[in-house]
Amino acid sequence: MPEDTASQEWEVVVATLYDRGDPANGAEETSVVRGPEAEARRVYADTTAQAGERGYDYVRLRCSGADVESWPQETGWTV
Protein backbone atom coordinates (compact mmCIF):
# COMPACT_ATOMS: atom_id res chain seq x y z
CA MET A 1 0.00 0.00 0.00
CA PRO A 2 1.45 3.44 -0.94
CA GLU A 3 2.40 5.83 1.80
CA ASP A 4 -0.26 8.43 2.61
CA THR A 5 0.75 11.67 0.83
CA ALA A 6 -0.38 13.70 3.84
CA SER A 7 2.39 12.12 5.92
CA GLN A 8 5.11 12.78 3.33
CA GLU A 9 7.42 15.77 3.69
CA TRP A 10 7.60 17.93 0.56
CA GLU A 11 10.38 20.47 0.11
CA VAL A 12 11.68 22.93 -2.48
CA VAL A 13 15.45 23.47 -2.47
CA VAL A 14 17.50 26.03 -4.41
CA ALA A 15 21.26 25.87 -4.82
CA THR A 16 24.25 27.86 -5.96
CA LEU A 17 27.54 26.19 -6.79
CA TYR A 18 30.54 26.96 -4.60
CA ASP A 19 32.70 27.10 -7.74
CA ARG A 20 30.91 27.47 -11.08
CA GLY A 21 34.11 26.40 -12.82
CA ASP A 22 34.10 23.07 -10.99
CA PRO A 23 30.62 21.72 -10.13
CA ALA A 24 32.25 18.75 -8.38
CA ASN A 25 33.06 21.10 -5.47
CA GLY A 26 29.40 20.98 -4.44
CA ALA A 27 26.69 23.53 -3.89
CA GLU A 28 25.09 25.49 -1.09
CA GLU A 29 21.47 24.37 -0.78
CA THR A 30 18.74 26.46 0.81
CA SER A 31 15.28 25.17 1.65
CA VAL A 32 12.63 27.53 0.28
CA VAL A 33 9.57 25.75 1.69
CA ARG A 34 8.52 22.59 3.48
CA GLY A 35 4.90 21.62 3.53
CA PRO A 36 2.09 19.79 1.78
CA GLU A 37 2.48 18.66 -1.82
CA ALA A 38 0.20 21.32 -3.34
CA GLU A 39 2.09 24.17 -1.66
CA ALA A 40 5.49 22.71 -2.57
CA ARG A 41 4.51 22.26 -6.22
CA ARG A 42 3.21 25.85 -6.40
CA VAL A 43 6.42 27.22 -4.88
CA TYR A 44 8.52 24.98 -7.16
CA ALA A 45 6.76 26.36 -10.25
CA ASP A 46 7.22 29.97 -9.07
CA THR A 47 10.86 29.36 -8.12
CA THR A 48 11.84 27.69 -11.39
CA ALA A 49 10.28 30.60 -13.30
CA GLN A 50 12.69 32.99 -11.55
CA ALA A 51 15.69 30.68 -11.08
CA GLY A 52 17.82 32.05 -13.90
CA GLU A 53 17.25 35.66 -12.86
CA ARG A 54 18.16 34.86 -9.26
CA GLY A 55 21.33 33.00 -10.20
CA TYR A 56 20.31 29.55 -8.98
CA ASP A 57 22.22 26.67 -10.48
CA TYR A 58 19.44 24.22 -9.72
CA VAL A 59 16.04 23.89 -8.06
CA ARG A 60 14.76 20.58 -6.68
CA LEU A 61 11.31 19.42 -5.62
CA ARG A 62 11.76 16.67 -3.04
CA CYS A 63 9.41 14.27 -1.33
CA SER A 64 10.70 12.61 1.84
CA GLY A 65 14.26 13.43 0.76
CA ALA A 66 14.02 12.01 -2.77
CA ASP A 67 14.22 14.28 -5.83
CA VAL A 68 10.89 14.29 -7.69
CA GLU A 69 11.52 17.11 -10.19
CA SER A 70 14.48 19.32 -10.98
CA TRP A 71 15.41 22.44 -12.90
CA PRO A 72 17.16 22.63 -15.22
CA GLN A 73 16.03 19.32 -16.62
CA GLU A 74 18.80 16.88 -17.41
CA THR A 75 19.05 16.33 -21.15
CA GLY A 76 21.27 13.29 -21.32
CA TRP A 77 23.62 15.13 -23.68
CA THR A 78 27.31 14.81 -22.98
CA VAL A 79 30.27 16.63 -24.44
Percentage of the residues of the chain whose pLDDT score is greater than 70: 87
Q: What is the pLDDT of residues 22-60, one digit of tens each?
A: 888 999 999 999 999 999 999 999 999 999 999 999 999
Mean pLDDT, rounded, of the chain: 90
DSSP helix, strand, coil percent of the chain (3-state; round to 5) = 30, 35, 35
- Rounded Cα distance between 13 and 28, Å, is 10
Residues 6+ positions from 51 with CB-CB distance below 8 Å:
14, 58, 59, 71
Contacts 24+ apart (CB under 8 A), 43-46: 43/12, 44/12, 44/69
Q: What are the sequence ranges of the domains in the chain? A: 10-66
Q: Which residue has the higher pLDDT, 73 or 56?
A: 56
pLDDT at 1: 35
Which amino acid is located at 6 in the chain? A
